[in-house]
Amino acid sequence: MDFSYITFPFETLLAVLLVSSHQKLKYGWPPRIKAGITFGLVTLLYFVLGLSANQSGYTIDTVEMLYLPFICILYLGFAAALAVIVQQLYDVTPVEALVTMVMGYGLQHLSVGIVNTFLRAVPLQTLGSGLGSGLGGAGSMAAVGELAADTARILIMAVCYAIAYHWLTPRFHIHVEAVQQSMRWVWLSVFILSSAIVFNMVLTIEVTSHAGGAAASSLGAMGTGGLAALGMTGPVVPLAVEYSFRIMDFLCTLLGMSVLLLVSTRDQLMSDLDMLTHLNEAKVQHYDMSRENMELVNAKFHDVRKSLASVRATIQNLDGLSGVDSDALNVPAESLKSMQELENAIRIYDSIFQTGDDFIDSVLTEKSLYCSAHSIRFNAMVDGRAFSFLEPADVAALFGNIIDNAIEAVESSSLPDEQRVIELSAHVSGGYAVLSSSNFYTGSVTISSETGLPVSAKTDSRFHGYGMKSIAAVVQERGGQVNVQADNDAHIFEIRVVLPVE
């Protein structure tokens, strides 16, 4: 029985587990035991069928007629079993299990294609046999050639899987709802991969038959296990034809995997975009309501403050008039002082920001009131007119998220009072609107080398990093730049957004 036929189940299982490594494993040993039993039974059936076919004594005509349906049913059943194993091991839906299985199967087939192309270009088995014939030890050297070929297969497969683990797996994420809306692309990928394998087998059988002999054992290398399991030998496919088939097989497999990857990437981007849109819309509604409420409260408190000031002034005037007994007024000095303090407390609602942009005013005022209530100094020098070209959703994304992140950083109880400060600046410089913020923080901040943005430390995965993603999305849409710096020694975080003024 051919080595590739023996290793196929384990190679495919490893590929599927590799691409699903980001999925959440089910808790406990029972799921693992159940998956192990399933894989053991399916693999045993796979080998029994292969051995039965090997000992059946089929003629080439019978094989040409029966091999393709037999091998298709065999591998289709094994693929279905892999999808079941994925569902047994991981907390996934049937759709996720299907997509994961297809991607893993494609990875195995792609890797095998690379292995077989290498072994065709560097025929280690043939070289071993030829060298053995020249030295009079054909049997032993042929065994060495087989061992060298099998070792090369294992090493090349390991390299392919390692590359896939570091590049493919981090980019392969499945969002069930979005995938269900794009199932036609999933089925297209399944069709492409299946066609690549089956079409490869059919063409190889036809070519070897027209070449004047039985189907070659190299068909096993061309496909996923091959006729080598049937104990068949024959002439080698012409090199030019075989390489043409290998290139076609490689491209079709790569295309099928790319379709799945693009669908998953598109789903991730669409999900992020929908989340950012909903969050920004919610913030816009919140700030609109906040502005209306603050204007109403400010108007009422303004009237109350004026009334208090009028009463206090009247009392003081009466107290200073000649002929008026101050004791008769019966107003203690402490009461006048309390009235003054109450005026000052209400006066804060007169300090609504007036930057030249009403929406920015509402954002800054709300954040300022929050900071005042939580002993945070909020120093803002903002020219709202410089950002008047922004939509309210963009203002909420930029100003709201930047200030929220700063507040979250300085609210830490381990920061001393003198470091509970947020500095915000927004102005026009050289035809660009510049928004910058700085604050202290505790712990350490990691800046992603890919995005240039800080890695979120939030434990709530629903909103993991969406604040920074929202900022980056607005900056990218407006053709601007965002620069983030974190000094983990001084514990100072700075963010600077530069947008071209429209």
Q: Convert the pLDDT of each residue in 398-420 to its tens digit.
A: 998 899 899 999 987 788 989 99
Residue whose token pair is 């014939």: 133
Residue whose token pair is 């683990």: 165
**Is the distance from CB of 169 to CB of 22 less than 8 angstroms?**
yes
- How distant, in Å, are the alpha carbons of 83, 104, 170, 242, 462 from that of 20? 11, 8, 10, 33, 21
Tell me how far apart the alpha carbons of residues 448 and 460 are, in angstroms, rounded to a whole number.
19
DSSP designation for 23 = S
**Which has the closest alpha carbon to 348: 332, 375, 368?**
368
- How distant, in Å, are the alpha carbons of 197, 261, 282, 470, 474 from that of 253? 8, 12, 44, 36, 37
**Which has the closest alpha carbon to 363: 418, 330, 401?**
401
Contacts of 5 (CB under 8 A, 6+ apart): 50, 220, 225, 226, 228, 229
Confidence of residue 82 (pLDDT cuts 50, 70, 90): very high
Q: In the prediction, which pLDDT does 494 show? A: 94
Q: In the prediction, which pLDDT does 485 show? A: 92
Q: In the prediction, which pLDDT does 150 show? A: 84
Tell me how far apart the alpha carbons of residues 502 and 500 are, in angstroms, rounded to a whole number.
6
Q: Is the pLDDT of residue 235 over 70?
A: no
**Beta-bridge mates of residue 438:** 423, 494
DSSP designation for 419 = G
Tokens of 124: 């280690």
- Angle of helix 239-320 relative to helix 358-373, nearest 10 degrees, comes to 70
**Beta-bridge mates of residue 429:** 432
CATH superfamily of 279-500: Histidine kinase-like ATPase, C-terminal domain (3.30.565.10)
Q: In the prediction, which pLDDT does 155 show? A: 94
In terms of C-beta density within 10 A (0-12 exposed, 13-18 middle, 19 or more buried), how is residue 271 classed?
A: middle
Q: Is the pLDDT of residue 130 over 60?
A: no
**Beta-bridge mates of residue 432:** 429, 500
CA atoms within 13 A on the CB side of 101: 27
Name the more confident of 33 and 263: 33
DSSP designation for 396 = I
Confidence of residue 225 (pLDDT cuts 50, 70, 90): very low
State the average pLDDT for the chain: 75
Q: In the prediction, which pLDDT does 458 show? A: 57
- How distant, in Å, are the alpha carbons of 71, 133, 202, 454 from that of 246? 19, 30, 13, 44
Name the more confident of 345 and 14: 14
DSSP designation for 102 = H
Residue ranges, CATH 3.30.565.10, the chain: 279-500
Chain Cα centroid distance, residue 364: 33
pLDDT tens string 429-476? 988 999 999 999 988 888 887 778 887 765 444 434 567 888 888 898
The rounded percent of the chain whose pLDDT value lies above 70 is 63
Name the more confident of 44 and 184: 44
Confidence of residue 247 (pLDDT cuts 50, 70, 90): confident
Name the more confident of 145 and 194: 194
**Is the distance from CB of 308 to CB of 342 less than 8 angstroms?**
yes
φ, ψ of residue 248 to 5 degrees: the values are: -60, -45
Tell me how far apart the alpha carbons of residues 228 and 4 are, in angstroms, rounded to a whole number.
9
**Is the distance from CB of 352 to CB of 365 less than 8 angstroms?**
yes
Tell me how far apart the alpha carbons of residues 179 and 183 are, in angstroms, rounded to a whole number.
6
Tell me how far apart the alpha carbons of residues 372 and 241 are, in angstroms, rounded to a whole number.
78
Q: Is the pLDDT of residue 488 over 80?
A: yes
**Is the distance from CB of 42 to CB of 84 less than 8 angstroms?**
no
Tell me how far apart the alpha carbons of residues 136 and 447 are, in angstroms, rounded to a whole number.
64
Identity at 71, one-letter amino acid code: I
Q: Is 440 helix (H, G, I), strand (E, B) or coil?
A: strand
Tell me how far apart the alpha carbons of residues 170 and 75 are, in angstroms, rounded to a whole number.
28
Confidence of residue 234 (pLDDT cuts 50, 70, 90): very low
Tell me how far apart the alpha carbons of residues 283 and 278 are, in angstroms, rounded to a whole number.
9
- How distant, in Å, are the alpha carbons of 321, 329, 336, 346 from that of 333? 17, 11, 5, 20
- Angle of helix 183-210 relative to helix 239-320, nearest 10 degrees, comes to 170
Tell me how far apart the alpha carbons of residues 419 and 198 are, in angstroms, rounded to a whole number.
68
Tokens of 244: 């043409």
Residue whose token pair is 């020098």: 381
DSSP-derived pairing of the beta strands 481-487 and 492-500: antiparallel
Q: In the prediction, which pLDDT does 274 show? A: 62
- How distant, in Å, are the alpha carbons of 225, 234, 248 from that of 208? 17, 8, 17
Tell me how far apart the alpha carbons of residues 382 and 384 are, in angstroms, rounded to a whole number.
6
pTM of the model: 0.54
pLDDT tens string 197-217? 777 666 655 554 544 443 343
The count of residues in the chain is 502
The sign one gets for the Cα dihedral 14, 19, 25, 26 is negative
pLDDT tens string 307-344? 666 666 666 665 555 444 445 445 555 665 666 666 66
Tell me how far apart the alpha carbons of residues 285 and 288 are, in angstroms, rounded to a whole number.
5
| Highest mean pLDDT: which range of 67-81, 324-338, 475-489 | 475-489
